[in-house]
Amino acid sequence: MKTAVFRRAQLAGLIVPLLLSAGAWTVTLPAAAQPAPVVRTLPDFTDLVDLVSPAVVNIRTMERARARGGDDGAMDPEMQEFFRRFFGVPMPNLPRPGKPNRPAPQAPDEEVPRGVGSGFILSADGYVMTNAHVVDGADEVIVTLTDKREFKARIVGADKRTDVALVKIDASGLPFVKTGDVSRLRVGEWVMAIGSPFGLENTVTAGIVSAKQRDTGDYLPFIQTDVAVNPGNSGGPLINMRGEVVGINSQIYSRSGGFMGISFAIPIDEAMRVSDQLRASGHVTRGRIGVRIDQVTREVAESIGLGKPQGALVRNVEGGSPAEKAGVEAGDIIVRFDGKTIDKASDLPRLVGNTKPGTRSTVTVFRRGQNRDLTMTIAELEPDAVAASGKPAARSSEPAKAANTAQALGVTVTDLTDAQRKELKAKHGVRVTAVADAAARAGLREGDVILAVSNVEVASVREFEAAVAKADRSKPVNMLVQRGDLVQFVLVRAAR
């Protein structure tokens, strides 16, 4: 059998090249063997541009000159906007090559160009969406349409947390965009951007969706694309192949100041929720529960029995907050909010923020190896509220009780005095008085308060040493540690 197959293969190897070289014969594969086409044709964006571009606008902002010297050779407005947005620092007063610094002949209160950006019309009566950073600090906003008409715009409202702003121009019968369904957007799908990079109006660029739900640390998950976006594109629309806006181009990743293949857009469904509130009241109302949170690492998840890294680790509970009233404790891991799973810590503030204040909600926390459902009433997040930073651990002058040492872990602890409990607001725990070896390598410090060991609460030195004795030394020993007013898990690997 093997010989017959080999001879047939030899024969085919001789005949097929002869047939192909003769040019008079063709080989047709059965239909089942035909490979499916991967790409039928490259996309044509011309119709999309004709459809959407009339609703895309250029936005220029102006500010009043203050009574101080200037620099007529200073950086262009679009580059100033770039530094404000992407480096988070004041614009450097750098002269252009060959132009010396000298006071600009500007009178106080004279309006001078400040920055450029893009936007798109949401309705025929003149509501325009853009980025909050495009209009932030502007004394005047000028909107230019594709037909070259210019309008002074009124800022209806801006939300810095999501970087969404809504402005209004006095016009009617305007062309406007159609919004798309972000849930239907797929990674690899073609998308297009229209904007004013570097002030070049109605510039069209295209690419594909690189990722969805990209967490960059901002309040919203982003759509990541490889569409060329540069300073001045901010606030312009990201458009799918059906001519629908699916996002607002908002950020770029760059080390050089130019496009480097990665750009980010705010999902349009999230932006529309914000704009609806801005249109109704001029500001955005968000819910809050009063916790400071952190990510759950894989090692911590495994050591406490959570299984996989998910949820939001509660590092601090604000006094008098909805979370405290509901019984949430520092060290809890919030794994669900109103039945929705918290995959990563950043999911929680987004879900809570989208909840109307006054709503009764249920949070599920993982504590000491078990899930618990807690009910709370959502409070209102104050505009631009900033959480208070943690205070250093208190050092009491009162004498502590005699300390014992868990030798294998390299940590010495002592019981908390009543004064220390009151100052630290700790219901239980033991205070670290010295660290060495494994404990020092794990990051424990003198003054830390150990609240639990291997999911077991400890209220005294005796309970601490009992919990350490029962811990599996072949695995990292997880300790719930309070430092100042923040709580975190520390994994201590015992010396072998």
pLDDT tens-digit map of 320-368: 899 999 999 988 999 999 999 999 888 898 899 889 999 999 999 999 8
Q: Quick: pLDDT tens for 141-187.
A: 999 999 999 999 999 999 988 899 999 999 999 999 999 999 999 99
Tell me: do 161 and 75 sit in the same domain.
Answer: yes
Banded pLDDT at 448 (limits 50, 70, 90): confident
Query: Is 140 inside a domain boundary?
Result: yes
| Candidates 234, 250, 254, 263; catalytic one | 234
Burial (Cβ within 10 Å: 0-12, 13-18, ≥19) of residue 231: buried
Does 205 lie in the same domain as 303? no
Residue 274 reports pLDDT greater than 90 = yes
End-of-domain residue from the set 168, 188, 206 = 168
Burial 119-132 (b: 16+ CB within 10 A, else e): bbbbeeebbbbbbb
| 374 vs 434 pLDDT, higher one | 374
Do 56 and 152 reside in the same domain of the chain? yes
Spatial separation of the C-alpha atoms in residues 273 and 179, rounded to whole Å: 12
State mean pLDDT over 464-478. 81
Q: Is 234 a catalytic residue?
A: yes
Is residue 36 in some structural domain? no
Contact 235, 118 (CB under 8 A): yes
Q: Are residues 309 and 225 in the same domain?
A: no
Supply 269's token pair. Answer: 């469904």
Give domain status of residue 385, yes or no: no
Query: Which of the pair, 7 or 207, is modelled with greater confidence?
Result: 207
Contacts 24+ apart (CB under 8 A), 373-379: 374/326, 374/327, 374/328, 375/326, 376/289, 376/322, 376/323, 376/325, 376/326, 376/328, 377/322, 377/325, 378/287, 378/288, 378/289, 378/322, 378/352, 379/287, 379/288, 379/289, 379/290, 379/321, 379/322
pLDDT of 396 higher than 50 = no
Same domain, residue pair 151 and 216: no
Confidence of residue 103 (pLDDT cuts 50, 70, 90): very low
pLDDT computed for residue 110 by the predictor: 61
Residues 154 and 192 in one domain: no
Residue 248 is predicted with a pLDDT of: 95
Q: Which residue, among 134, 124, 125, has the nearest Cα to 155 in the 3D structure?
A: 134
Position 350 in a domain: yes
Instruction: For residue range 250-271, list pLDDT tens digits in order.
Output: 887 766 666 678 889 999 999 9
Is 133 one of the catalytic residues? yes
CA distance 259 to 231: 9
- Give CA–CA dist 318/29, Å, rounded: 71
d(CA 171, CA 115): 23
Indicate if 333 and 348 belong to the same structural domain: yes
Where do we find the tokens 């967490």?
A: 215
Residue 394 included in any domain: no
pLDDT category at 33 given cuts 50, 70, 90 is low
pLDDT above 70 covers a percentage of the chain that reads 74
Look at residue 145 and tell me if it is in a domain.
Answer: yes
Q: Choose the final residue of a domain: 256, 281, 306.
A: 281
145 lies in the same domain as 185:
no
CATH number for the domain including 448?
A: 2.30.42.10
Element (H, E) at 287: strand 287-288
- Give every CB contact of residue 132 below 8 A, 6+ residues apart in sequence: 158, 159, 160, 162, 163, 164, 165
Average pLDDT over residues 11-18: 42
Distance CA 104, CA 102 (A): 6
Looking up tokens 């509970």 gives 317
Together in a domain, 117 and 57: yes
* Contact assessment for residue 59 and residue 141, using Cβ atoms and an 8 Å cutoff: yes
364, 380, 396 - which closes a domain: 380
Q: Which of 118, 136, 159, 163 is catalytic?
A: 163
pLDDT one-digit tens code per residue, 69-91: 444 445 555 555 544 454 443 44
Which pLDDT value is given to residue 390? 35
Residues 118, 133, 196, 275: which is the catalytic one? 133
The question of whether 474 is a catalytic residue gets the answer: no
Identify whether 397 is part of a domain.
Answer: no
Concatenated DSSP letters for 120-177?
A: EE-STT-EEEE-HHHHTT-SEEEEE-TTS-EEEEEEEEEETTTTEEEEE-S--S----
Quote the CA–CA distance of 121 and 119 in Å, as a whole number: 7
Report the distance separating Cα 210 and Cα 188, nearest Å: 6
> Which pLDDT belongs to residue 36?
58
463, part of any domain:
yes
Give the structural domain span for 484.
Answer: 404-492
| 21-27 LR contacts (CB < 8 Å, sep 24+) | none
Whether 394 has a pLDDT exceeding 60, the answer reads no
The SS3 assignment for 238 reads strand
| Cα distance between residue 128 and residue 182, in whole Å | 20
Counting the structural domains of the chain, the total is 4
**Band of the pLDDT at 454, cuts 50, 70, 90?**
confident
Q: Are residues 265 and 188 in the same domain?
A: yes
Q: Are 376 and 463 members of one domain?
A: no
CATH code, domain carrying 190: 2.40.10.10
> Are residues 339 and 408 located together in one domain of the fold?
no
Q: Residues 39-53: what's their mean pLDDT?
A: 86
Taking residue 28's Cβ as centre, other Cβ atoms within 10 Å add up to 7
